[in-house]
Structure 1
Amino acid sequence: MRSLQAVLVAVLVLLAVAATTDAAWAPIPDRDLNGMVVQQAGRFAVLVHDITRRTTLVFVKVERGEMERPAGGGLGTNYRLVVTAARAPGGSRGRYECVVWGVPGSRTSTWKLLGFKAL
């Protein structure tokens, strides 16, 4: 009976750890920074910021990033990215941190820009 209780306690502890780490920010490996979803999230962030703030920023690249999957298996993923963007073609470059939420493979209209700031 005690061994069954010990197994149940171990399973509950593992489930609790999995639930708390599921929603933690995890670095995006360098090999995945040039992946389609990460690049689109970076482009989306610069484009939406450019349209809403009437700037002249043009996306250049994603330098690094982290992603956070929803707890409990919900839809959508948060992406916290550091992107390089240039002022109008040929202008000076700057680095920006942006946070984007979206469901990979969904329409652009379902994505949201949650934050954008100069570094």
Structure 2
Amino acid sequence: MAHKSRSLLFVFLAILLASALNEASPVWRRKSIAGGWQPIDNPKDPEVVEIANFAVTEHNKEASTALAFEAVVKGEKQVVAGTNYRLVIAAKDGSATSSKQYQAVVWDEPSQKSRKLVSFEEIKG
């Protein structure tokens, strides 16, 4: 009976160790969480730039401003029923010599040919 108990204990410890190693693995930490925000690897991707241009254009319409898109600084996306994009955008206001940064959230659903500016705010400081 003691031999059987030791075998079960050994199996239990092996499972526990394997589980702990799996939890600590960098591969495990990189797995995406369903519905979670994921970094955009290439902010110069044409699709991301198109979304950012849309955000600036829509903001200009809604706020009667004249921002000029310059670049996507960084961003994240969240896949839901469509895709949410949270982008940091560099843009100039009229004849200003330096650009400011803005955070825009855009919801995009290509299958429905639908896109909506959710928010657009200047990043202060």
TM superposition score normalised by structure 1? 0.70
Is 1:23 equivalent to 2:27 in the alignment?
no
RMSD: 1.9
Residues 50/105 of structure 1: CA separation in 2 closer, same or farther (3 Å cut): same
SS of residue in 2 equivalent to 1:95: strand
The CA distance in 2 between the partners of 1:35 and 1:21, in whole Å, is 23
Is 1:68 equivalent to 2:72 in the alignment?
no
Larger Rg: 1 or 2? 2
After superposition, residues 1-119 of structure 1 pair within 5 angstroms as 21-29=33-41, 32-70=42-80, 74=81, 76-89=82-95, 91-104=97-110, 107=113, 110-119=114-123
1:41 offset after TM fit, Å?
Answer: 0.7
Aligned to 1:9: none
SS of residue in 2 equivalent to 1:44: helix
- Superposition misfits of 4+ residues, deviation over 3 angstroms: 89-92, 104-107
The answer for unaligned runs of 5 or more in structure 2 is: 1-31
The answer for unaligned runs of 5 or more in structure 1 is: 1-19
Q: Which moved more, 1:44-53 or 1:98-107?
A: 98-107
